[in-house]
Amino acid sequence: MRYLLTVAAFLMLSITSCKKYDDGFTHALVIYGGDLTVNGCGYLLRLSDGTMLKPINLASNFAQDSLGVLIKYNTTGEQTNCVPQNPYDKVNINEIKRDQ
């Protein structure tokens, strides 16, 4: 009986102390879309559903091709013109961290 109480107490502590690491964040992959000065798009974000977004404020330490990140963002209501036939929505990154 004492063993069961100890196990139950441990499980309760584990459950209450665990915080979902991606709480409110969206999974994304940083993609290098080419040099901006040569008609490229610079760095883009590809969401897990395939949607491509153009961040307007990507921090330099996250500007790495194929880097997995977790982001919180809001749309600006504007679109890029780097790919006229398929423009990307511009977004403002509110929070960003590496996806582990």
Instruction: Kindly report the length of the chain.
Output: 100
Question: Rounded to whole angstroms, what are the CA distances from 43 to 10, 18, 73, 90?
Answer: 45, 33, 15, 11
Burial of 65 (0-12, 13-18, 19+ CB in 10 A): exposed
Residue spans per domain, the chain = 23-98
pTM for the full model? 0.75
Return the DSSP state at 36.
G
pLDDT in tens, 4-53: 434 344 434 344 344 445 688 999 999 999 888 777 899 999 999 999 99
Given this structure, which CATH class describes domain 23-98? mainly beta
